Chain A
């Protein structure tokens, strides 16, 4: 359950940013999570509920921007969407890929008060 560590880091980042902005409340948090980031949604949800209690994120509205996986086949030089790291190029069937999108794991923004 590395998702718990992930949530802990989010709480830490958000709290630091809130304090830096001289605010005392977080109303909203916007996250970016890629399809290939290795975060499992159910585990993340479970960890979130447990961990945000009694933190500034307790009542925050959480927005998640899910980023789809995008890869370039380095043999054909075409882009295509992927859902797994082992997906093949639809043209040549090869696996010589460069992952361009989908690995994101970010705190984008906060709405504080």
Chain B
């Protein structure tokens, strides 16, 4: 059993439904029928409370160790892993990195990160369509990221489900690519509402697709007025410097803490 959160997980992600297992020995020793009768229980509890509490715990861990945690979210294939590969390679020696990869099935992305020489942990969510704070808690227990490092968490490719689950991150980076259509923010408002940076990737493909940068910015600002937007191409390297500057501006110098 996990001492931190009280779960019985061994690292593999499995859903636990209370009451659905061994109903037999679950009688609370209360068989001697003194019924209290029908009554109302006031609960008033946030359904996401459990996740939010664990997210707070992760956040405390990150704060204590001065780790900058970023949650990378996007549709499948927008370029999360490619952006990480670029970043880890280009900023090697300047910042200390660690990566948590969330994926339903494979370890492909983790293998790609590993090839850059960066410490990486894979979480396979199985059928799960998002990472949650509990999975991240276990991942950081296993990997023990260094003090003053930058921790990237690549979420499962999905613009809907991960929006609701705080992982304890400091920054949430939503990535869209120009092949996806400039109405993405309106279709997935929750994700743009909760993000703190938007990256538009694959701008090298702009000549070939009907995608208006102006339109997507306008749409994003309707949902999140102060959302910074950076345009990049991981293929040509255009705009990456701006992303690196943003990233470095978020890294707290240890002596200032």
The proximity string for A residues 4-41 relative to B, scoring 1 for CB distances below 8 Å and 0 otherwise, is 11101111111111111111100100010000001000
By beta carbon, the residue of chain B nearest A40 is B160
The proximity string for B residues 195-235 relative to A, scoring 1 for CB distances below 8 Å and 0 otherwise, is 00000000000000000000000010111010000000000
Q: A105 and B43 in contact (CB under 8 A), knowing A11-B18, A54-B20?
A: no
What is the size, in residues, of chain B's interface with A at 8 Å between Cβ atoms?
47
Q: Say which size band chain A's interface belongs to.
A: 35 or more
> Total A-B pairs in contact (CB under 8 Å)?
128
A8 and B41 within 8 A (CB): no
Partner of A2, one of B19, B43, B129: B129
CA gap between A111 and B37 in the complex, in Å: 10
The proximity string for B residues 108-129 relative to A, scoring 1 for CB distances below 8 Å and 0 otherwise, is 0000000000000000000011
Q: Which residues of A contact B256 (CB under 8 A)?
A: none
| Stretch from B59-67, B77-85, B93-101, B161-169 contacting the other chain | B161-169
CA gap between A23 and B19 in the complex, in Å: 13
CA gap between A108 and B46 in the complex, in Å: 9
B43 and A13 within 8 A (CB): yes
CA gap between A109 and B18 in the complex, in Å: 18
Q: Which residues of A contact B160 (CB under 8 A)?
A: 2, 38
18 pairs of residues in contact across A and B, judged by CB atoms under 8 Å: A2-B161, A2-B164, A11-B19, A12-B50, A18-B41, A19-B28, A22-B28, A23-B39, A23-B41, A55-B18, A85-B190, A85-B223, A86-B186, A86-B223, A105-B46, A107-B45, A111-B39, A112-B39
Residues of B within 8 A of A (CB): 15-20, 23, 28, 30, 35-51, 128-130, 132, 160-165, 185-186, 189-190, 192-193, 219, 221-223, 225
Excluding A15-B18, A17-B45, 7 further A-B contacts by CB distance (< 8 Å) are A5-B161, A6-B164, A8-B16, A17-B41, A17-B43, A22-B28, A95-B223
